[in-house]
Structure 1
Amino acid sequence: MTATSSVSKGCFVFKSASKKRRKLHKDVDGLLLCGSDDNGRDRFRIYQKLLEKVQLHTEAIQDQLNKKVLDNLVQFIKKYELCYSSDVWRQGASEIPTAALMLGVNVPDHTMTFRSLCSLLQDSVTPFVVSVPAKECTAVKILIQKVVGQLMGRGLSLDEDQEDDTAPHQKTQCSISDLCQWYKTVKKSNMKNEGLHWSLPIVVIFKDFEAFNLQALQDFILICSQYVQELPLIFIFGIATSSSTIQQRLSHSVSSLLCIEVFHSLSCTQHLAAVFDKLILNSQFPFKLSSKVIQVLVGIFLYHDFSVQSFVKGLQLSMSEHFNNQPLSVLCCQKKEAMLCAKMLSQQNVDRIRHLPSFMRYVEAQEPQEQVLLLTSDEHVKEVCQILLKNLHKYHKNYYPILQCLHSLTSLLPKCPLGKQIRELHVSCNEKKVWETEEYDLAMQLLRILAKDELVAALRECAGILKSARSKKIQNVLRQVEDFIVRMEELECPSTEDLPEDDVIFSGNDYKRRTDLFQLQKTLQEKESGRSKKITPFEMLRNEVVQFLDDLVREYLTPAELQPLHEVYYYSSSGVLRQRLNAAPRTSIQAALSHPFYYLQNQALKTRAGTVSSAAPDLCIIYKLHLECGRLINLYDWFEAFVTVSSAAEDKDENSDECGKLDSLKNARFIQAVSEMEFLGFVKSTKQKTDHVARLTWGGC
């Protein structure tokens, strides 16, 4: 432990006087259901079902994305397994095969990758797989014990006599030589039983290579290199930064003992895009996020940890908040189930539907007679609710395929005016009418100058997207797109001779004469100022395609906020989510120290603004007094002020012995409170003045 300059050390807890928060329903996943809601259990059931779906899809996406790199690692280990089975090769072996697995800086996601890797290796290659974390291996002795201990617990089955022989080694677990003896025993037994040349490798996985104690890691590699002809060792380094880290951290004498091969996993942005396609841009997943919530989650991903697992946890938290705080989330389910729930809505939920802003806008747009029915008849509201829910499901079925088509056409344009990632385009379409933005106009202008091969390739990609859609309207769009592709392929690209005279900029000997920028600009200006050029058949067809795309965008990519009852499916409390995920500990601590009443629920601590209660904890008094000081705080003046405030409610004789004992006690309390302030980071010792401390924060709650 490192020494500190604090006056005293300690940890103190103030327990809340109120225990009302503990008397909530104890549901498995922490969803707090209000007892007054008649659909609370139905909401919790739907929430659990969606939560399981998120978990299954997340794991499937992780396995699918990691499949290639994990398969390559398996082949790498199998290659050296064959080499280790050759006695000739092992006699001349001097290096340990090492795989450098480049996983990226999204460290929270690495755990799932290593879990999948261990399972795959144990199922298909060898049962001798050890995974060691850096935080548990601070010294080489501990590292060896971890490796040897795990391996001896995962050996193949032995006879009873042999198990007794290995028992002492399982108890000691202290050296690589014990591991060698144990491995020879296991090998001899299996060769005798199976009659084969048996030589399974021992795989040691270092999860977080950069975090390992350098000396412990180097010593471990040096020790293992002495047994490379007896133990078929293979190392896997989990690296978050770059492959050069191995050479930078390990000395040349140690790194020369490793035969390193680098493996790259997919980037975290590709992983996030797959999660978006499966969980957010999917009409089969009923729960939706508003554009502001998506921006909060993506912002945390891009500017904090690049962790897809953290993004998924944010999605799960959004689901929990939505199903907990929105009683109408009972309708946030698949179409058939939503129709049944709409028929059985209670009167209370019908009134809630009437108060939804989107439903109120819908009512205002109806005829007067229809408005009266919607405001007075509960049964009519239920019938209309079913129709609106059907329309909302149709909206999502049509929205996502058209969104993907627009993205495939615009993502390859120069500077990507509508965004390089589909999530950026999705946010733009949900925030406002995208066709009214300058970026959209620029994208349409760039689409009108696309070459034939680029446009045909983009249309074919759109056709592939639309084929997987189930909507009848989208199938009609698919037929029109396929017709455009056929018509374009039938067109022949015009040659220079077929162009009008005004369209020819360079020809023959004029090419060399007009190579400078000024002449080129002059020629283009003359061309533009001349007669209107004749539009070619390809240009006419290209304009028709762009106009067709523009019509699709205006029809299907309307913002979700314009859809009635969108509040049922969309979670939009971005402020709450930001507060939950972007923790601000300093703000919370300052609020607790400034207003202890709201945390301790003690009426004696309730005071007016700007005053200090003598009944408050010492730390709160010290904190409020330090707010009145400047950059440097005189400890004696601070102590005098503390004594004055804490003694306000006391009436003691200054000359009495009891008063002297109280002064000593207050002195100790003051030192303790100052030490706590130093621990929390509000003050620190300073060399400028020995009897002063420096203030580190400014402002308060």
Structure 2
Amino acid sequence: MGIGYGSGKSRTRRLAQGCFVFKPDFKKRKISVPIEDYFNHEKLESEDSKLRFETYHLLWQRMKSETEQLQEKLSENLFDSLVEFLQKSHSEFQKHSKNWGCHMKLREIPTAALILGVNVTDHNLIFRSLTETLQNNVTPYVVSLQAKDCPDVRHFLQKLTSQLMDCCVESESEEGKHVKIPRKTNDSMDSLSSWYATVTQKTCPKITSKKRTTTSGQWQSPPVVLILKNMESFSTKVLQDFIIISSQHLHEFPLILIFGIATSPVIIQRLLPHAVSSLLCVELFQSLSCKEHLTVVLDKLLLTAQFPFKISKKALQVLTNVFLYHDFSIQNFIKGLKLSLLEHFYSQPLSVLCCDLPEAKKRINFFSVNQCENVRRLPSFRRYVEKQPSEKQVALLTSETVLKEETQSLLENLHVYHINYFLVLRCLHNFISSLPKYPLGRQIRELYCTCLEQKIWDSEEYASALQLLRMLAKDELMSILQKCIEVLNSSTEMQLGNTTQKIKDFLMLFQNLDADSKEDEDACGSQIKGLQKTDLYHLQKSLLEMKESRRTAKKQTKFEVLRENVVNFIDSLVRDYLVPPESQPLHEVVYFSGAHTLREHLNAAPRIALHTALNNPYYYLKNEALKSEEGCIPNSAPDICIAYKLHLECSRLINLVDWSEAFATVVTAAEKMDANSTTSEEMSEIIHARFIRAVSELELLGFIKPTKKKTDHVARLTWGGC
């Protein structure tokens, strides 16, 4: 581009003619780095990072697909009930459309109060699935509004109108029709009613279900479903005005409301007075409890041999504690599970074997020398080698062929161990889940954590549970045994030998007890049913009395002998198959135990992070010039770091003058300034401005605040290192 000399107009013309715009070519500048390269751990020597990443990706896709199917199945009953309610409400509208305004009852707006629970972070996913279901089964006109977008009625109607227009455009594009609908209308219910009449007369959409068959047929006037995601956050006046206006136009604008409620349905009466709530025909719908949802997710992902990846007790406690004490979010729990899976494949070189058993055996055959050494370094494998004869020890430590064969055998044993482990765990849970006071917990995840931590048969709670099992009635025992048979039959891989047949034999013996045994059992069972309603003191007292009476009795009944045999059989199964995973060789391959890593990522500690960044900037910046001894202030550190470390040396009140002078001393040492130079005055002003900015940033972060005690001082808000 050249610019010549001349008049202003000519220069402007030549300048305009010589300017061109060149869009940057991002494709050339983009540096593509393979994702698997991120799996090259700095401290680990592994040549299979790509294979580990691919294994992680495939395993997570399987787990993700399982969770999506599970969530869809859990929401299916709730969504079916909602669809049935909406169809029924709309059929009433069509039936009485001519004399809609003549009946006061028909002025009521059909309203579904959807109780979703306090897991607010999961609500968006639920509403997204609900919107898709309603559009497939009920009506194309489904609108979702949030409180932050509706500060008043005008904005409420604006959002409602714009989203309805979008729904109309989408339905027209799918059907191939082009109906000109004005995009800009007056934001009022009258304009919406006229727009609705125009659209339904011209388009007449046919509602056909993609996933489920409905009996609604072809609707000439589909309803408008309005979803209020967080009803508690909406302004009371906005809701009242909108409901009153909508009820007046309901005969020409068929509206159906869905309230998303996180707390309790009582909020409807609190937000709306009786004069307004009487205009709603409310029906309650309850979603699945968060804890029940968590139990189902754990059951499908962790308490199964379908997926080889497992979590240790401490890591599982971190995830469940975040769920139970912070957000009750299933989505966040699944993200934490994904993080655990990612960290396991990143930090464990032998996680390449965390896959299906046939594939793992194939990969062992191609192990290199370094990978064989990684197997020998595993603590569980070392303990296993120490228990072997001396000849086999030498072979495992020197021969790679023997090591690979033994590794394949150990992985197969670990797979069989998991199958047996979870089957016996479910059977034990069926026995102890109905006991008084729940000595081993009510949920299966509580029992699972106990079994992961220690040998469960050494605990006092287990001994107490066995005592209570020896006092169950016949009908309760038969019901539990029937559940155990169902659990064992549900497994495609039977590894427990003749356990199923033994349980069936016990069940048959209970059914064949004679009348005398039945009378004795009924007497014993009646005592237990009374025990379940008493407190712990009377329960322990009754246990002692029963033990004493049993000691004095000369002969047990047939039922008591059979019940004792059942309890002893279950106890033997527990001792044989519920051994802690740490006792199994190669358990490190499939178990993630980095609880500390999960805490760092999931339990945020902003104050500690701020203190670390300001006190030791090298921790984040990785600049060698920022390295310094403890207690020293590096003169090349950022201004806010210098000001922060200086303020740590002050008392509760900080003199700004002294603070500024100390700051200037450190900074001038960094700049290597000459005190007698001609630019010293100008530089002092710059340093003063830098100090003011650093102090303002510390005030913004909450470390200091102005004080009225002394005008030239600031008050320190923190005390100590962090």
TM-score range, shorter chain: 0.7 to 0.9
Match of 1:7 in 2: none
How many angstroms does 1:654 deviate by?
Answer: 6.3
Farther off after superposition, 430-439 or 244-253: 244-253
Structure 1 pair 289/529, CA: closer, same or farther in 2 (3 Å)? closer
Match of 1:284 in 2: 306
Q: 1:43 aligns with which of 35, 45, 52?
A: 52
Query: Which has the bigger relative contact order, CA under 8 A and spacing at least 6?
Result: 1
Structure 1 pair 526/137, CA: closer, same or farther in 2 (3 Å)? closer
Q: Does 1:157 align with 2:172?
A: yes
Q: Does 1:201 align with 2:209?
A: no
Farther off after superposition, 565-574 or 489-498: 489-498
How many angstroms does 1:213 deviate by?
Answer: 4.2
- Residue deviations 1:224-274 (CA, integer Å, cap 9, x gap): 334222211111111111111222233444433322221110101111111
Q: Does 1:672 align with 2:693?
A: yes
Structure 1 pair 343/273, CA: closer, same or farther in 2 (3 Å)? same
Structure 1 pair 160/125, CA: closer, same or farther in 2 (3 Å)? closer
Separation of aligned partners in 2, 1:134 and 1:641: 51
Q: In structure 2, what residue type is equivalent to 1:179?
A: L
Match of 2:605 in 1: 584
Structural mapping, 1:451-530, within 5 Å: 451-474=473-496, 476-492=498-514, 494=516, 528=549
Structure 1 pair 624/24, CA: closer, same or farther in 2 (3 Å)? farther
Separation of aligned partners in 2, 1:183 and 1:207: 23
Structure 1 pair 253/645, CA: closer, same or farther in 2 (3 Å)? farther
What's the TM-score, normalizing by structure 1? 0.88
Contact 2:416 2:495 in 1 (8 A): no
Separation of aligned partners in 2, 1:653 and 1:473: 84
Q: 1:183 aligns with which of 196, 200, 211?
A: 196
What's the TM-score, normalizing by structure 2? 0.85
Count residues with an aligned counterpart: 661
How many angstroms does 1:553 deviate by?
Answer: 0.4
Q: Does 1:538 align with 2:553?
A: no
Report the aligned-residue RMSD: 3.2
How many angstroms does 1:598 deviate by?
Answer: 2.9
Q: Does 1:53 align with 2:75?
A: no
Q: 2:625 aligns with which of 589, 599, 604?
A: 604
Q: Secondary structure at the match of 1:157?
A: helix
How many angstroms does 1:588 deviate by?
Answer: 1.0
Separation of aligned partners in 1, 2:176 and 2:136: 27
Contact 1:484 1:545 in 2 (8 A): yes
How many angstroms does 1:214 deviate by?
Answer: 4.3
Farther off after superposition, 248-257 or 362-371: 248-257
Separation of aligned partners in 2, 1:496 and 1:115: 56
How many angstroms does 1:414 deviate by?
Answer: 1.2
- Residue deviations 1:558-611 (CA, integer Å, cap 9, x gap): 011111111111111111111111121211111010011232233332222101
Contact 2:414 2:587 in 1 (8 A): yes
Q: In structure 1, what residue type is equivalent to 2:163?
A: Q
Q: In structure 1, what residue type is equivalent to 2:35?
A: D
Q: Secondary structure at the match of 2:252?
A: coil
- Residue deviations 1:52-98 (CA, integer Å, cap 9, x gap): 11211111111111112111111111111112212145223433221
Structure 1 pair 651/578, CA: closer, same or farther in 2 (3 Å)? closer
Q: Secondary structure at the match of 1:684?
A: strand
Match of 1:63 in 2: 72
Q: Does 1:87 align with 2:108?
A: no
Separation of aligned partners in 1, 2:239 and 2:458: 59
Q: In structure 2, what residue type is equivalent to 1:613?
A: P
Match of 1:348 in 2: 370
Q: In structure 1, what residue type is equivalent to 2:571?
A: D
Match of 1:16 in 2: none
Structure 1 pair 498/555, CA: closer, same or farther in 2 (3 Å)? closer
Match of 2:654 in 1: 633
Q: 2:126 aligns with which of 108, 113, 119?
A: 113
Contact 1:149 1:173 in 2 (8 A): no
Contact 1:83 1:89 in 2 (8 A): no
Q: Does 1:370 align with 2:392?
A: yes
How many angstroms does 1:45 deviate by?
Answer: 1.8
How many angstroms does 1:306 deviate by?
Answer: 0.7
Q: Secondary structure at the match of 1:443?
A: helix
How many angstroms does 1:490 deviate by?
Answer: 1.3
Separation of aligned partners in 2, 1:24 and 1:533: 83
Q: Does 1:449 align with 2:471?
A: yes
Match of 1:259 in 2: 281
Structure 1 pair 536/216, CA: closer, same or farther in 2 (3 Å)? same
Q: In structure 2, what residue type is equivalent to 1:431?
A: E
Farther off after superposition, 432-441 or 528-537: 528-537
How many angstroms does 1:121 deviate by?
Answer: 0.5
Match of 2:636 in 1: 615
Structural mapping, 1:116-135, within 5 Å: 116-135=129-148
Match of 1:683 in 2: 704
Structural mapping, 1:329-340, within 5 Å: 329-340=351-362
Q: In structure 2, what residue type is equivalent to 1:83?
A: E
Contact 1:81 1:199 in 2 (8 A): no
Q: In structure 2, what residue type is equivalent to 1:461?
A: K
Contact 2:40 2:46 in 1 (8 A): no
Separation of aligned partners in 2, 1:407 and 1:271: 18
Contact 1:25 1:33 in 2 (8 A): no
Farther off after superposition, 140-149 or 566-575: 140-149
Separation of aligned partners in 2, 1:192 and 1:60: 30
Separation of aligned partners in 1, 2:638 and 2:206: 73
How many angstroms does 1:32 deviate by?
Answer: 5.8
Contact 2:40 2:49 in 1 (8 A): no
Farther off after superposition, 295-304 or 610-619: 610-619
Farther off after superposition, 302-311 or 533-542: 533-542
Structure 1 pair 207/333, CA: closer, same or farther in 2 (3 Å)? same
Structural mapping, 1:6-17, within 5 Å: none
Q: In structure 2, what residue type is equivalent to 1:146?
A: K
Contact 1:286 1:333 in 2 (8 A): yes
Match of 2:576 in 1: 555
Match of 1:27 in 2: 35
Which runs of no fewer than 5 residues in structure 2 stay unpaired? 1-29, 208-216, 528-537
Separation of aligned partners in 1, 2:472 and 2:320: 32
Structure 1 pair 402/622, CA: closer, same or farther in 2 (3 Å)? same
Percent sequence identity over matched residues? 49
Farther off after superposition, 157-166 or 454-463: 157-166
Contact 2:517 2:559 in 1 (8 A): no
- Residue deviations 1:413-454 (CA, integer Å, cap 9, x gap): 111111111111111111111111111111111111111111
Contact 1:25 1:32 in 2 (8 A): no
Q: Secondary structure at the match of 2:183?
A: helix
Match of 1:383 in 2: 405
Contact 1:435 1:554 in 2 (8 A): yes
Separation of aligned partners in 1, 2:136 and 2:547: 73
Q: Does 1:306 align with 2:328?
A: yes
How many angstroms does 1:693 deviate by?
Answer: 2.9
Which runs of no fewer than 5 residues in structure 1 stay unpaired? 1-21, 506-516
Q: Secondary structure at the match of 1:491?
A: coil
